[in-house]
Structure 1
Amino acid sequence: MKTANLLIFLLLPFFCLAQSTFKLKGKIASEITTLEWADISILNSEGKIVDGTTTKQDGTFEINLKKGSYKIGVNLLGFEEYEKEISIENDTDIGIIMMKQNATKLVEVVVKSKKKTIEQKTDRLVYNLENNLTTVGGDALSAINTAPGVVVKNDAITILGKGTSRVMIDGRIIELAGEELNNFLKSIAASDIKSIEIISNPPAKYEAEGTGGLINIIMKKGVRDSWKNSTTASYDQNKYGIFTLRDNFFYNKNKFRFSASVNAKTGYLNVTDDLKMYFPDGLSHMNSVTKVKTENLSGKIALDYDFSERTTVGLQFLNDRNNPDFKSDISINNYNTQNQLDNITLNKSNTDKGSGNQTYNVHLITKLDSLKRKLSVDVDYFNYNSKFDRNFIANNYTPDMIFVDVNQAGRNISNQDIDNWSFKADIEHPFHAINLYYGAKMSFTNSISDVLYYNTISGTPELDPNQSNRFKYTENNQAIYVNAEKKLNEKWNLQLGLRLENTQTNGVSETLNQETNNDYLKLFPTFYASYKKNENNSFSLNYGKRINRPRFDLLNPFRIYINSNSYSEGNPFLKPSFSDNFEFAHSYKEILRTSVFVNAVTNGYGVLFTSNPETNTQIVTRENYFKNLSYGIGESYSAAFADWWQSENSLYLLGAKTEFIRDIQATPSNSMQVDFSTNNTFSLGKTTKLQVDFSYSTPFKSGLYEVGYSASFDIGFKQDLFNKTMQIAFLANDIFNTSYLKDYTSVVNGVKQLYSTNESNRFVRLSVVYNFGNKKINVKERAFGNQDEKKRTGN
């Protein structure tokens, strides 16, 4: 009741200002007939689209608008664009607008103006992907990595200074994380992406999950009454080769919209790992070489049907399969305190690994009345399953490579199955004075995971019950939210939101006879204010509270052996962490952008690389062990040094203060970090472009860990052919092989660990893209409503 009263109190001023709207109507025609499906756009005094529609079969249209001055735009393929200033004081009929045909009406209309690569908005930064050549033939994951202030490393997508980020497609969360999220994003062609939004403080309509904000992928759209097919073939060469083939088909006719896509990838990656552990009795140096199969097959089918001018229903089905089997050769050299080689352990393993997910979505969108109130309803079902089956044997040898004995031999089997139902309803409720959004969501998740460990040192598999477990986990979430936007005047805009989330969890370890329950109710406020001083200068201030819930697999207290001297285990007692995010930004001519931010994390959890000095064993676990205050300043500069040279540059200065909230036998340390990147595009002709990129991040300390430098130098080339229906692109990525994780250092329980890993970041790519169809199409991409749960299924 207190929460409801608080919502009413905060939003009452907005409701009091609500006013009625007026009707704008008209008719679109040519010299010989009325024109159906003409796109009508209404722009405000700032040139932003505030509303729009399409003409009916008889060429008429109607739009409800607030009192004020606008610009109406009309666009239809084969006709010249139309624009006119209008003033709305009451109901208005602008009569018949006559459209003029283009002289070359059979040729596809090409828009000459080029969008800015980076655009600053009140609550997000928009990165227009079409200007980046290095993403041609690539996928969504590589495209995200080119976005300003975003870093993809070690299966984590991070906004600099914020933490790990969630990912959305067209405003709906993808419920996958880690390796599974990356595999899903690799199945999406970068050529189908229009822009990427970096939302450091998401509004209340989005789930409060994720301390690092949101990355929103906006898919390309076009005009109605058309079809299009896009085929992409690419080949990557690192130590091994990877071949990718993608095909996307779209059909949009009258009331029916259909899309289908198939994505396939096959090949191998070479992954190297190097770990040094300085135990009291000497150094243990592990080196690993792994050949990882890259095998992915995914598909998507979506269709929508307009039952009436107000109501649309649709469904989607997505299936994604991955089979990243791998074979590892691991050598462990053990030294004594005099740094003399004592013995060698050789560990060979073969791993059968696979995962799959199916997502079903049914949705309804309906306009409730002439005031443009709109209801969206989603029902989703999601299933995720994974398997992990590793056989390994580790033999001990003398320094002269004379066999001594078998160190360890075993078979580690782990399986996980997750089911999720989600129900969500959202309402857009515009008034004259404010735009109001509110809604609710419920989700129900069941997870079963088990691990079996067999000791095979005798040659006969023997089940070890102390290292085997079955874990059941359920999680239910209920959420309501309200969000209001208010334009005070031509200079000030405000946005206020509140989201209330209630969560119940239950985890049961059958083997350990252990049960863990959680039940918590949390309120997540958001606030945004923007001020446009003049045409050259604009400012914004925002705040948001977020939650970071542990992924399902991290809660399972099972143990999986990485090698004979290293294993990973989950923690059923992990609790969510919370963050408070503040950001102040300034934009000068939309060329120079400055951002100052602070991010405070409480009850933070993360990976702990601990060790047992008695057995010289590394233990990878997760704990709630810290609180952290991150801060920084970011500068980005867009420049056109010449008509043929466009440049995007960014510089970030980052710092942090970390405190450990429990005794983990370690001392926190922090230092400043500098991150710099420059992307330069050179036009060598109307159809030929060259891009040269460079990025560099200094070594830094952050809490428990110290991280080495990272750098990447990339060159991309693109040639358009046959009136841009075909593109040939070449990319040399990370030419000097310096972008991998290096010198990842921690000291816990008196043992120093130094780790580096390289996952074939250096490669060359050749891509061919071929598009055909009658027009550019307008397909409404829609992601799934239960994406909040899918994210946490990753490895």
Structure 2
Amino acid sequence: MKPKQVNYTQTDSLGLYHFNNLQAGKYSIICSSINFKAVNQLLALTKDTVINIQLQENRNKLADVQINARKSLIEKQIDRTVFNVENSVSAIGTDALELLSKVPGVRVLNDRVSLSGNGAVNIMINDKLVPLSADELSDYLKSVSSGNVAKIEVITNPPAKYDAQGNNGLINIVLKKVAAEGFKGSINTAFTKAIHPTVSAGGSLSYRKNKITLSTNFNIRKGSLVPFEQSDVFYPTQTWNIVNKDRNFRTVPSGQIGMDYQASRKTVLGFSYNGGLTNFHSEENIKTTVYNKTGSLDSVLNSDANAKIRSHYHSANVYFKKTLDSTGKQLIINGDWFNYNDDKERFFNNTSYFQNGIMFPDSFAEYLSASKQNIDLYTVKADIDLPYKTFKLSFGAKLSFIHNESDLAFYRVRNTVYELEPGQTNLFNYKENTQALYINYNKSLKRWDFQAGLRGEYTQIDGVSVNEQNRSEYFRLFPTLYIGYRVNNKSTFSANYGRRINRPAYRKLNPFRWYSNQYVYTEGNPFLQPSYNDNIEISHTYNNVFTTTLSFSHTTNGFNDVNFIDAGTNIQAAKPLNFITGYHYQFSNAITLNPLKWWESINQADIFYTISRSGITQTQSSLNGFGAYFSTLNQFVFNQSKTILGEASFWYQFPTIDGLNQNKSQYNLDLGIKTLFLNKKIQLAITASDVLKTNQYRYSSLINNIRQEYNNYYDSRQIRLTFRYNFGNEKIKQQDRKLGNEEERRRNN
């Protein structure tokens, strides 16, 4: 006989339970719990009744079951490509910056990150942009241990939820999630040998007890590199060959601490703090050899320099997450504060010599360039996700407040006394406030998936420098659209469109001139405007193995630094301008292969065509041409227990166009091997980067009909030995946190 009524309930933390509004009659009460024997008790209910039931422990407990599933190294999703770091051999014992170089289509050159054919991208950590200069960003990424990274996401066309900043997409570094009761941690050390050695060490620790989760990590790196830069400037009557030999030293400690508190079953509160310090100094020699029209030596200019930089950053986040119901509706609020401060000093001298080696009379001069910068950034961000049965709606708002202050000074040494030159001293104040709203809509219909979003941003800026003030405000809309069609279980088509903005770095807005020597200076442009990109992408994925993508990008009001050269005075003046209109067409193919059980190979090939048009007369009116890029990443398992692993990666960049520069070809080979001990808790790895010493950046440009050629190498051939030990509870998991300030992070570059 079937029961007429079935009721379910669950005990609270004290073991109390309730059945309400039951009718009189006969009932069977069944109580059960994992690892306890079930109890079945009959009850004739006539009135309110209290029933005490005590379960007996089941001594025949089921042993712990551990299920291991190995994700593909590369996963293609509708709006991003995911690189699963834990499956990369070369990722062991390295840092986040080097991990990026292992992702197909991502390039790291001179510690600058870009996408093949697309240029520089913005970097996020757990959906949160890092607001550091190019040098500080590279130091920060080097301070993030690869052991703390779970995956890297390449988002070529970000949806409306993300800030519109950045014309070439986003790269999101997702850190590992920790927390179930107990401790978990790791320690790691690394020794790297380029021309000179670098050593690093670090560790992480996480702990959870009841409702509180704590996590922390610390890393330190100390060493030096020897970059080499060479350029030739072909004046009408002279050729200048400039060789910059530099050895720079860095000591970079950094740390993080975070706490999550589960206030209730539906509410999570959190706090995190990140901080870091960089001590930098360099020893430089810049030798400029001047040849006359016949190729004979004319003169030599020599400059010896040393620079000192001390910088630090602080970043704090408070976090609130409220689950609204059991269907996944939720509210997330983030408050963020970021502070960056640096103090730079560069001492240099200039001496000129005749071709016979005799010094020009009174040519020796000594200088000091000094710079201080302080950036404060405050953001408040709220996001609401509302999933329904047939669609999902999300919307949110963000407020950001930025204050940047730069203090620049220039001194000349006279009679051993540093005398301030008032005309070369400047205080630059810059404020920027932005208010943003967005809405995003998702719906699936049979084989079709749709997503549409719209983001609006209203920005007000105010910059003051040398009694020159520049104020402006603007409102822009940024639509996004995604369409996906599943032909069958193996074949999927997708298309997307998005509009982006690229706001200039703060320092590029400062009109003050910064002199390197008597012939070379750079200056900012307070009237520099943002540029905009419209991006379209169509792709097909087969069996999560083969992906083909056709993309188009249109840049308007693009800006870049132009190195203006005066043939009469030999002055080289670099200044950023809005002058580029660009078109970029790209055809990409990515394929993951398993030729043998012990060999996995991920390969990518891109062919692209670039058109760059200039709006200023000093440069070429247009430049266009084809380019291509190929990369292959191969992983090997050398024994049955999978404790000896190897990796070989190679990429080749064919000659291409980058703005109004013509880049020459370059290529790179990396090799790595790793062994695991003590139930895979100890990892020992050795990797060799740029084995063939071919990762050299060579390019040329034409300004005022004066050709410039550059050949730069940044000490990238290195061998690294790393050791890592993992300890504690291996079953730990963590709250999923997405932090708040996004668009502003990186623009002090």
Q: TM-score, normalised by structure 2?
A: 0.90
Aligned with 1:474 (options 410, 417, 431): 431
**Which residue in 2 is equivalent to 1:329?**
285
Q: CA deviation at 1:59?
A: 13
The code of the aligned residue for 2:667 comes to A
**Which residue in 1 is equivalent to 2:3?**
none
For 1:216 and 1:587, locate their aligned partners in 2 and report how far apart those are by CA, in whole Å.
22
**Which residue in 2 is equivalent to 1:415?**
372
Alpha carbons of structure 1 residues 77 and 259: separation in structure 2 relative to 1, 3 Å: farther
For 1:483 and 1:683, locate their aligned partners in 2 and report how far apart those are by CA, in whole Å.
44
CA RMSD of aligned residues (A): 2.5
User: Within 5 Å, which residues of 2 pair with 1:347-746?
Assistant: 347-405=303-361, 406-456=363-413, 459-489=416-446, 491-509=447-465, 511=466, 513-685=467-639, 686-742=642-698, 744-746=699-701
For 2:697 and 2:176, locate their aligned partners in 1 and report how far apart those are by CA, in whole Å.
33
- Point out the structure with max Rg over C-alpha: 2
For 1:774 and 1:371, locate their aligned partners in 2 and report how far apart those are by CA, in whole Å.
31
Alpha carbons of structure 1 residues 536 and 427: separation in structure 2 relative to 1, 3 Å: same
CA deviation map 1:88-109 (0-9, x unaligned):
xxxxxxxx9x99998764xxx6
Q: CA deviation at 1:783?
A: 5.6
The code of the aligned residue for 2:655 comes to P
The code of the aligned residue for 2:727 comes to F
Alpha carbons of structure 1 residues 378 and 458: separation in structure 2 relative to 1, 3 Å: same
Aligned with 2:204 (options 223, 248, 270): 248
**Which residue in 1 is equivalent to 2:128?**
172
For 1:100 and 1:118, locate their aligned partners in 2 and report how far apart those are by CA, in whole Å.
44
1:261 and 2:213 correspond: no
For 2:348 and 2:162, locate their aligned partners in 1 and report how far apart those are by CA, in whole Å.
44
Aligned partner of residue 743 in structure 2, secondary structure = helix
Q: TM-score, normalised by structure 1?
A: 0.85
For 1:59 and 1:394, locate their aligned partners in 2 and report how far apart those are by CA, in whole Å.
84
User: Within 5 Å, which residues of 2 pair with 1:22-171?
Assistant: 105=64, 111-171=67-127
CA contact (8 A) 1:226 1:253 kept: yes
CA deviation map 1:641-687 (0-9, x unaligned):
10111111110001111111233343332211110011111111120
For 1:261 and 1:149, locate their aligned partners in 2 and report how far apart those are by CA, in whole Å.
30
For 1:208 and 1:717, locate their aligned partners in 2 and report how far apart those are by CA, in whole Å.
40
The code of the aligned residue for 1:714 comes to D
For 2:58 and 2:646, locate their aligned partners in 1 and report how far apart those are by CA, in whole Å.
39
Unaligned runs of 5+ in 1: 1-23, 29-33, 35-54, 61-75, 80-95
For 2:71 and 2:348, locate their aligned partners in 1 and report how far apart those are by CA, in whole Å.
54
CA contact (8 A) 2:398 2:436 kept: yes
CA contact (8 A) 1:393 1:408 kept: yes
The code of the aligned residue for 1:272 comes to F
The code of the aligned residue for 2:637 comes to S
Aligned partner of residue 152 in structure 1, secondary structure = strand
Alpha carbons of structure 1 residues 458 and 614: separation in structure 2 relative to 1, 3 Å: farther
For 1:560 and 1:323, locate their aligned partners in 2 and report how far apart those are by CA, in whole Å.
22
Alpha carbons of structure 1 residues 757 and 418: separation in structure 2 relative to 1, 3 Å: same
For 2:658 and 2:98, locate their aligned partners in 1 and report how far apart those are by CA, in whole Å.
26
The code of the aligned residue for 1:688 comes to I
For 1:429 and 1:268, locate their aligned partners in 2 and report how far apart those are by CA, in whole Å.
51
CA contact (8 A) 1:27 1:59 kept: no
For 1:369 and 1:124, locate their aligned partners in 2 and report how far apart those are by CA, in whole Å.
29
**Which residue in 2 is equivalent to 1:319?**
275
**Which residue in 2 is equivalent to 1:753?**
708
Alpha carbons of structure 1 residues 342 and 255: separation in structure 2 relative to 1, 3 Å: same
**Which residue in 2 is equivalent to 1:762?**
717
Alpha carbons of structure 1 residues 25 and 381: separation in structure 2 relative to 1, 3 Å: farther
**Which residue in 1 is equivalent to 2:143?**
187
CA contact (8 A) 2:288 2:300 kept: yes
Q: CA deviation at 1:397?
A: 1.6
Alpha carbons of structure 1 residues 409 and 545: separation in structure 2 relative to 1, 3 Å: same
* Range with bigger deviation, 348-357 or 458-467: 458-467
CA deviation map 1:351-388 (0-9, x unaligned):
11122111111111111234432111111111111121
**Which residue in 2 is equivalent to 1:791?**
746
For 1:730 and 1:223, locate their aligned partners in 2 and report how far apart those are by CA, in whole Å.
30
Alpha carbons of structure 1 residues 613 and 409: separation in structure 2 relative to 1, 3 Å: farther
The code of the aligned residue for 2:455 comes to R
Alpha carbons of structure 1 residues 561 and 499: separation in structure 2 relative to 1, 3 Å: same
Alpha carbons of structure 1 residues 331 and 59: separation in structure 2 relative to 1, 3 Å: farther
Alpha carbons of structure 1 residues 484 and 461: separation in structure 2 relative to 1, 3 Å: same
For 1:679 and 1:141, locate their aligned partners in 2 and report how far apart those are by CA, in whole Å.
17
Q: CA deviation at 1:564?
A: 4.4
Alpha carbons of structure 1 residues 77 and 787: separation in structure 2 relative to 1, 3 Å: farther
CA contact (8 A) 1:280 1:613 kept: yes
For 2:547 and 2:13, locate their aligned partners in 1 and report how far apart those are by CA, in whole Å.
43
Aligned partner of residue 90 in structure 2, secondary structure = helix
Alpha carbons of structure 1 residues 562 and 787: separation in structure 2 relative to 1, 3 Å: farther
Aligned partner of residue 432 in structure 2, secondary structure = strand
CA deviation map 1:567-611 (0-9, x unaligned):
222211110000000000101111111011001010000121221
- The number of residues matched between the two structures is 707
CA contact (8 A) 1:347 1:564 kept: no
Return structure 1 stretches of 4+ with deviation > 6 angstroms. 24-28, 55-60, 76-79, 98-103
Aligned partner of residue 181 in structure 1, secondary structure = helix
* Range with bigger deviation, 356-365 or 696-705: 696-705
Q: CA deviation at 1:114?
A: 1.8
**Which residue in 2 is equivalent to 1:773?**
728
Q: CA deviation at 1:252?
A: 2.0
CA deviation map 1:493-518 (0-9, x unaligned):
10010000000001111x2x211111
Q: CA deviation at 1:57?
A: 8.8
For 1:167 and 1:466, locate their aligned partners in 2 and report how far apart those are by CA, in whole Å.
37
CA deviation map 1:163-208 (0-9, x unaligned):
3211222222222341121111111111221111111110101100
For 2:327 and 2:632, locate their aligned partners in 1 and report how far apart those are by CA, in whole Å.
46
For 2:608 and 2:135, locate their aligned partners in 1 and report how far apart those are by CA, in whole Å.
27
Alpha carbons of structure 1 residues 423 and 415: separation in structure 2 relative to 1, 3 Å: same
For 2:533 and 2:732, locate their aligned partners in 1 and report how far apart those are by CA, in whole Å.
41
CA deviation map 1:429-463 (0-9, x unaligned):
11111111111000111111121111225543232
CA contact (8 A) 1:382 1:790 kept: no
Unaligned runs of 5+ in 2: 1-5, 18-32, 37-54
Q: Percent identity?
A: 33
Q: CA deviation at 1:339?
A: 1.2
